[in-house]
């Protein structure tokens, strides 16, 4: 018996257009679109793409800041069975050309602000460019597709194991790799998001993760699946986000720790009642207990830590609101935890030979779930290295306490070996982050002729603060073994980051990427 097509991800918007047609789906600073309107617009775009020759399996790239049009183009690809390719809008021209060539993109949607880059690339497979705004650099513009396209449903049979997205990794340690997302993976990521974020159908949610990132895409798709509106802003702007929060209409929000820190520095943030805000989810990077305590005090809502391997394996662990409340009631060590495995996640901590390590010992996080990728594009050896009998090993290191809570120890590639001693940067980062003058810290290993490697700490100071290295070293001696104390400190204005807010430690180490997509 051949596999039977199931309800597609693209069907979610059609179903809500029928069941709750007048309910808002996408909301921007200036406009609001109902589920009926969004489904109609998606149909029109999909039918015009089909007239342009885009069909099942063709790759359609998106190179743009966040808009409702971005999501409509993405959903149109899903209705056609085309593979959408979300690209980091911070790419340089050579990077953009390389990824478009690697993806063999047939069509490219782009924001007008990136027109000079798009005009300059040479991609043999690219047949058409479509501007989200009117621009001479595009063959067509998005509104033209809406005007000319027919509002007719497209029913492309699509199996759960078929590929619907080609997402490139963020490249914190190397150049990006193309990650193949099946429909099953996307469905599971979205269901995890709905359940673990605890967002009911009457929610109004905002995610600061960009739409080209798996988290940003999944949070908005969760709204499409569940039937609640999503706020879509071009990019994270603290004044704009705080304005929306102070309107007291948002029920849930996702931020990375640096964004939370930025919001807390805005004038008037502590004078507002955020009574409708049910929860703030955070992820992509660790948050210091000091920052988390202040955020919980100011916003007065539930907090949850969502940790995962994003592009390759989705959500892996969750530190729940109950865990956060328990931390404030005498179990403060839990604020340093990434929680326990999320819904549908089989998680082990393993050594290099994939043997499980006992509680209390550091091992590599290895997971199996429906949210694990299908593999890397055209990289069978790399796929076989990280996918073993369905288990994904992404290089994140952690240890488990006797209650089952997991504590991150950092990336396997970030581990520092000083004179034969293993040092996990996150332990040092947690100590330094407790200093009131330190706003953010990143610890790396650097070559040393005697020890092999030594510890170097990069710090971003709080506004108006100064750095007293002698006092910091004295503090470190009270909290760290001598071999873990940084050999050098470096004060930074800010850290280099990828699109999801993760610090690029390879840049701090002075390394260049070694791999190619």
**Per-residue pLDDT tens for 81-140?**
999 999 989 888 888 999 999 999 999 999 999 999 999 999 999 999 999 999 999 999
Q: Are residues 342 and 205 in the same domain?
A: yes
Q: Are residues 290 and 228 in the same domain?
A: yes
Q: Does residue 165 form part of some domain?
A: no
Q: Are residues 278 and 341 in the same domain?
A: yes
How far apart CA 213 and CA 39 sit, in angstroms, is 23
Q: Are residues 233 and 308 in the same domain?
A: yes
Residue at token pair 């009631």: 329
User: Considering 411, 437, 468, which residue would you say is the last residue of a domain?
Assistant: 411
Residue count of the chain, please give it.
517
Q: Is the pLDDT of residue 151 over 50?
A: yes
Q: Does residue 181 form part of some domain?
A: no
What the block records as the tokens of 96 is 């953009």
Q: Are residues 429 and 405 in the same domain?
A: no
Report the mean per-residue pLDDT for the chain.
Answer: 91
DSSP 339: B
Residue at token pair 């290089």: 395
Confidence of residue 25 (pLDDT cuts 50, 70, 90): very high
- Give the mean model confidence (pLDDT) for residues 330-340: 89
How far apart CA 298 and CA 106 sit, in angstroms, is 48
What the block records as the tokens of 135 is 């621009």
Q: Does residue 184 form part of some domain?
A: no
Q: Are residues 235 and 289 in the same domain?
A: yes
According to the model, what pLDDT value does residue 485 have? 92
According to the model, what pLDDT value does residue 173 have? 43
Q: Is the pLDDT of residue 234 over 90?
A: yes
Q: Does residue 179 form part of some domain?
A: no
Q: Does residue 327 form part of some domain?
A: yes
What the block records as the tokens of 256 is 């990375």
Of the listed ranges 256-270, 336-350, 386-400, 498-512, the least confidently predicted one is 498-512
Q: Are residues 239 and 323 in the same domain?
A: yes
Nearest Cα to Cα of residue 193 among 163, 220, 213, 166:
220
CATH number of the domain residue 109 falls in: 3.40.50.980
Q: Are residues 346 and 263 in the same domain?
A: yes
- 3-state secondary structure labels for all residues of 33-92: EEHHHHHHHHHHHHHHHHHCCCCCCCEEEEECCCCHHHHHHHHHHHHHCCEEEECCCCCC
Q: Are residues 432 and 340 in the same domain?
A: no
Confidence of residue 410 (pLDDT cuts 50, 70, 90): confident
Q: Does residue 2 form part of some domain?
A: no
CATH number of the domain residue 335 falls in: 3.40.50.12780
- Give the mean model confidence (pLDDT) for residues 251-277: 90
Helices (H), 349-436: 380-386, 425-433
How far apart CA 241 and CA 447 sit, in angstroms, is 42
Q: Are residues 376 and 437 in the same domain?
A: no
Q: Does residue 166 form part of some domain?
A: no
Confidence of residue 277 (pLDDT cuts 50, 70, 90): very high
According to the model, what pLDDT value does residue 515 have? 35
Confidence of residue 356 (pLDDT cuts 50, 70, 90): very high
Going from the C-alpha of 369 to that of each of 22, 59, 225, 316, the distances in angstroms are: 36, 26, 20, 9
According to the model, what pLDDT value does residue 170 have? 65
Query: 1 versus 344: which is more confidently predicted?
Result: 344
According to the model, what pLDDT value does residue 289 have? 76
Residue at token pair 């989810």: 281
Asked if residues 343 and 196 have their Cβ atoms less than 8 Å apart, the reply is: yes
How far apart CA 139 and CA 241 sit, in angstroms, is 34
| Parent domain of 453 | 423-509
**Per-residue pLDDT tens for 424-447?**
788 898 889 889 899 999 999 988
Confidence of residue 79 (pLDDT cuts 50, 70, 90): very high
Tally of domains within the chain: 3
What the block records as the tokens of 145 is 């597709």
Q: Are residues 96 and 129 in the same domain?
A: yes
Residue 353: strand pairing partners = none
The dihedral region occupied by 360, where left means phi > 0, alpha psi between -120 and 50, and beta the remainder, is left
CATH number of the domain residue 473 falls in: 3.30.300.30
Question: How many DSSP H helices and E strands does the chain contain?
Answer: 17, 27
What the block records as the tokens of 409 is 């120890």
User: Considering 158, 184, 217, which residue would you say is the last residue of a domain?
Assistant: 158
According to the model, what pLDDT value does residue 182 have? 97
Q: Are residues 201 and 128 in the same domain?
A: no
Nearest Cα to Cα of residue 237 among 208, 279, 194:
208
3-state DSSP percent of the chain in helix, strand and coil, to 5:
35, 25, 40
User: Considering 112, 132, 158, which residue would you say is the last residue of a domain?
Assistant: 158
Q: Does residue 316 form part of some domain?
A: yes
């Amino acid at each position: 018996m051949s596999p039977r097509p199931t309800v597609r991800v693209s069907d979610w918007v059609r179903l809500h257009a029928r069941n709750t047609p007048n309910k808002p789906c996408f909301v921007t600073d200036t406009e609001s679109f109902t589920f009926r309107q969004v489904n109609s617009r998606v149909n029109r775009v999909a039918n015009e793409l089909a007239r342009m020759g885009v069909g099942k399996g063709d790759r359609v790239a998106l190179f743009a800041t966040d808009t409702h049009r971005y999501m409509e183009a993405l959903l149109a690809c899903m209705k056609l069975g085309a593979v959408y390719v979300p690209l980091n809008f911070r790419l340089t021209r050579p990077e953009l050309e390389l990824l478009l060539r690697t993806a063999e993109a047939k069509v490219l949607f782009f924001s007008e602000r990136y027109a000079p880059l798009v005009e300059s690339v040479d991609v043999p497979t690219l047949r058409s460019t479509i501007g989200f705004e009117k621009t001479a650099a595009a063959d067509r513009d998005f509104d033209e597709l809406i005007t000319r396209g027919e509002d007719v449903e497209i029913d492309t049979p699509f199996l759960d194991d078929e590929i619907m997205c080609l997402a490139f990794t963020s490249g914190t340690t190397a150049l990006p790799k193309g990650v193949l997302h099946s429909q099953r993976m996307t469905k599971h990521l979205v269901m995890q998001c709905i359940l673990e974020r605890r967002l009911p159908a009457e929610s109004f949610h905002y995610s600061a993760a960009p739409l080209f990132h798996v988290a940003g895409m999944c949070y908005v798709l969760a709204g499409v699946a569940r039937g609640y509106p999503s706020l879509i802003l071009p990019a994270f702007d603290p004044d704009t986000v705080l304005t929306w929060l102070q309107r007291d209409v948002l029920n849930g929000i996702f931020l990375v720790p640096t964004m939370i820190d930025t919001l807390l520095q805005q004038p008037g943030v502590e004078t507002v009642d955020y009574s409708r805000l049910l929860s703030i989810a955070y992820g992509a990077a660790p948050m210091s207990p000091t920052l988390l305590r202040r955020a919980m005090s100011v916003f007065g809502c539930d907090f949850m830590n969502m940790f995962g391997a994003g592009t390759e394996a989705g959500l892996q662990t969750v530190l729940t609101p109950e865990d956060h409340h328990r931390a404030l009631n005498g179990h403060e060590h839990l604020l340093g935890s990434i929680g326990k495995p999320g819904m549908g996640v089989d998680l082990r901590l393993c050594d290099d030979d994939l043997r499980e390590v006992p509680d209390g010992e550091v091992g590599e996080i290895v997971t199996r779930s429906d949210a694990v990728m299908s593999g890397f594009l055209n990289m069978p050896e790399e796929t076989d290295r990280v996918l073993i009998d369905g288990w994904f090993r992404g290089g994140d290191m952690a240890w488990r306490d006797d209650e089952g809570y997991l504590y991150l120890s950092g990336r396997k590639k970030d581990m520092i070996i000083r004179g034969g001693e293993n040092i996990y940067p996150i332990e040092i980062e947690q100590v330094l982050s407790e200093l009131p003058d330190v706003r953010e810290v990143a610890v790396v290993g650097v070559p040393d002729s005697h020890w092999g490697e030594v510890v170097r700490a990069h710090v971003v100071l709080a506004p108006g603060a100064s750095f007293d290295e002698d006092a910091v070293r004295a503090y470190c001696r009270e909290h760290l073994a001598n071999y873990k104390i940084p050999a050098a400190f470096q004060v930074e204005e800010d850290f280099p980051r990828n699109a999801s807010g993760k610090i690029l430690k390879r840049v701090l180490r002075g390394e260049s990427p070694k791999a190619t997509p």
